[in-house]
Structure 1
């Protein structure tokens, strides 16, 4: 568990923590979470293993901190999709493009997060909940969404497309027909 106190971190401890998080983000983007070791993160950050483990006891805790800004981005991007003046189909397509892009920003994240949906004990539960709530807001903001579509379904099916895109290293152009099919299936004719 990450060490938390009521006192703010000393300036040097905050710098170390930031360097660790930055190094983790870089390595996760380059190699994926599974292929990234805590030792590599410490080396890239220029800190000793003890310093790293004082801030993050597990790789999952480190991963959680490394993509925290991502959760804030998810909410902002859902709001942007809904705020546009496009019709429901285009607003949904914009959200689905964004959703796939966000899920694939960190190598291996799409499959991990999608597989963890509905598991409150998962190390990725916070991220899953963030996506679930974002999809709930998008669904509620679209008048022509099928009444049978729910946020968990949307998370799972779009997460599946994102996982395939991530693992197959598909570009946005190759993913576009897949999300178009999803959008058309989510909307009433």
Structure 2
């Protein structure tokens, strides 16, 4: 890709990220993004044929952040519950960064034809790593899709309400307690 084309693409992604974050996916038009990025519609569509393609590019760096959050949680020198809570809090925060993303991503879980399928796979892979990393403390039978849907549900509620941050944390604590086996939960460390 030529340097000027790369600059245009990067500017489009940066501008679109801000617009999606402030207005939500459904409220943003491709024309609005082109105007805000100061590029023609042809330039925008050459890089991103659909709105989903543009949104996917916005979230590209997200996979790296997800993996870093999993590593950070698993590397904590703390009880399993605290490590799990660190991951769940990061997971919910990432889902709610872009207005409406929590609902779209959570609804797309398990749908390989969704434009968000790659992002769902990133979360499912991260949850698989959490389950493996905390295997001795996890309740038997916990699956990555279950964690994704539970935290996604909490994130959707947080995204669509005026809920204070402490309320999200308390809901995630309930999720964590449900995911951990009683002997591994270390409930005394609350």
TM, length-normalised to structure 2: 0.93
Q: Which secondary structure state, in structure 2, belongs to the residue aligned with residue 34 of structure 1?
A: helix
Q: Unmatched 5+ residue regions in structure 2?
A: 183-190
Cα distance in 1 between the residues matched to 2:115 and 2:121? 12
Asked whether 1:147 is paired with 2:143, we answer no
Q: Does 1:122 align with 2:114?
A: yes
Runs (4+) of structure 1 exceeding 4 A deviation are: none
SS of 2:141's partner is coil
Q: Distance in 2 between matches of 1:14 and 1:172?
A: 38
What is the CA deviation profile of residues 71-119 of structure 1, one whole-angstrom value per residue up to 9, with x for unaligned ones? 1100111111001111000000111000000111111111000000001
Q: Are 2:152 and 1:159 aligned?
A: yes
The aligned counterpart of 1:177 is 170
Return 5+ residue gaps in structure 1 as ranges: 1-8
Match of 1:55 in 2: 47
Greater percentage in helix: 2
2 CA distance for matches of 1:66 and 1:150? 28
Corresponding position: 1:25 with 2:17: yes
The superposition leaves residues 42-68 of structure 1 with CA deviations (integer Å, 9 ceiling, x where unpaired) of 011010111100100000000000111
Counterpart in the other structure of 1:4? none
Distance 1:42 1:169 in 2: 31
Distance 1:71 1:106 in 2: 15
Q: Paired residues, what number? A: 181
Deviation at 1:169, TM superposition (A): 4.0
For 1:136, the equivalent position in structure 2 comes to 128
Distance 1:180 1:37, change over 3 A: same
Task: Report whether the alignment pairs 1:113 with 2:118.
Answer: no
1:95 to 57, 69, 87: 87
- TM-score normalised by structure 1 residue count: 0.94
- CA distance in structure 2 between the aligned counterparts of 1:152 and 1:146, rounded to whole angstroms: 14
CA distance in 1, matches of 2:125, 2:162: 27
Q: Distance in 2 between matches of 1:75 and 1:49?
A: 34
RMSD of equivalent CA atoms: 0.8
